[in-house]
Amino acid sequence: MPCEEWSRLVEQYRSAIKGYSEAASGLSGLPGAEFDKAWEQAEKARKISEGYRTALLDHEHEHGCLVAGRSSNRATHRQRSRP
């Protein structure tokens, strides 16, 4: 059963993903230096969202509050996503 901390982490992750999506959407049609700046902002947003995702997955693993039906896929996905 998800806990309060899990819910907070999910909300942070959702917000970060939305920010990344908006930043990536802003890349279209920008010239030279403007594109470079927008790219840097999108990369920053991507890294932030990855950090929240990692925190969420770590919490699920350490605290044991996985959502039913996701635990079987979680271990496989975590192994693939690690460098």
24-75: pLDDT as tens digits: 999 988 899 999 999 999 999 999 999 999 999 999 888 887 665 555 444 4
Model pTM greater than 0.75? no
Grouping H, G, I as helix, E, B as strand and the rest as coil, residue 68 is: coil
Q: Is residue 19's pLDDT more than 60?
A: yes
Q: Can you give the residue ranges of every domain in the chain?
A: 4-81
Helices (H) and strands (E) in the chain, counts: 3, 0
Whole-angstrom distance, CA of residue 59 vs CA of residue 9? 9
Whole-angstrom distance, CA of residue 17 vs CA of residue 34? 22
